[in-house]
Structures are given as structure tokens and as C-alpha cells.
Amino acid sequence: MLHFHQRGCQPFPSCQVLVDVPCTTDRHSLHEEENNIFQRSRKKERQMLPMLQVQLLAAGLLATKPGGYVVYSTCSLSHLQNEYVVQGAIELLANQYNIEVRVEDLTHFRKLFMDTFSFFPSCQVGELVIPNLLANFGPMYFCKMCRLT
């Protein structure tokens, strides 16, 4: 295990954190039987994913210093694993830690890549790239947040 100081990094808090959580990996689940999260035997694990995702996102936001940024991402189409997780983590931090988080507007990103990717038109927070055969990509959800306090 490397220590932060050996690599020239500083211990937490950090300026930027990527929280790429375990999810249902919808595209892979369609094509693979082995270890598929949609198997009946993994139902409870699948149902617990949003709670785990909220905990991981909250931990990422707590590890970020005020003024720092967090990007949350999944490869799921599920609103429960995407927008609701973001909203749940923001509410959790506000209520339990009095930490304020702002969701960043990613409209510029959507405009920049609208010829390459297909975006879901109705996300409340973040952006969702929906599967597209021509681009051979998706799904991918991402949301950028700034920790204010």
C-alpha cells in the first residue's frame, strides 16, 4: 500500500473526487449470464444498490474540501441509481452534516457531444447518455457537484 506522502499527494480533503459506483451495468447484463445482477439469486443485492450508492457518494462529498468537485457516475439507466442517489446524498449531507452541495449545469457538455451521443432529454440533475447502436456506447450517467460548505 502506498502512502499519500510517498507519491507527493496530500491526504484528504481533496479538490476533486470521482465516485464511479457499482451499479447494475445494464448493457453488460443484457449480454452476459455469468455474474448477472438481474439473476433471481441476486435480487436483494440489486435492491440494496441505491443505498450503497448514496453512502459512497456521501463519502466522496465528505472527502472533498469546500469548493471542490465530485463527479458521480454509473452505467445504469435507472433513475433510482442515478438522479435519486444524487438527490439522496445531497439531502443526507444537508441534514446530518449541515453541508451544502450544488449540482453543476452540464448543458455545455451535452451541446458539445450531441452529435456523438444520444442524451436522455428529461434528467433533473446530471446527464444520461442512452444506448445508441451507431455510437456503440451507453448507458452512462454522470453528475458534477460542488461542495459549498
Instruction: Please state the domain extents for the chain.
Output: 23-104
Say how far apart CA 65 and CA 146 lie, in whole Å. 9
Q: Which fold has domain 23-104?
A: Rossmann fold (3.40.50)
pTM of structure = 0.84
Name which of 8, 141, 7 is nearest 75 in CA terms: 141
pLDDT at 2: 34
Contact 57, 86 (CB under 8 A): yes
Say how far apart CA 8 and CA 110 lie, in whole Å. 35
pLDDT at 4: 38
pLDDT at 81: 93
Percent of residues, the chain, with pLDDT higher than 70: 83
86: Cβ contacts below 8 Å, ≥ 6 apart:
57, 72, 103, 125, 126, 143, 145
Kindly state the helix (H) or strand (E) to which residue 145 belongs, with its residue range.
strand 140-147
Q: What is the pLDDT of residues 17-41, one digit of tens each?
A: 999 998 877 655 556 667 666 677 7
Active-site positions read 75
The mean per-residue pLDDT over the stretch 50-74 comes to 96
When mean pLDDT is compared across 55-64, 92-101, 119-128, 132-141, the lowest value belongs to: 132-141
Per the annotation, does 20 bind a ligand? yes
Contact 106, 72 (CB under 8 A): no
111: left (phi over 0), alpha (psi -120 to 50) or beta: alpha
User: Which residue in the block uniquely carries the three cell numbers 479538490?
Assistant: 15
Is the confidence at residue 112, as pLDDT, over 60?
yes
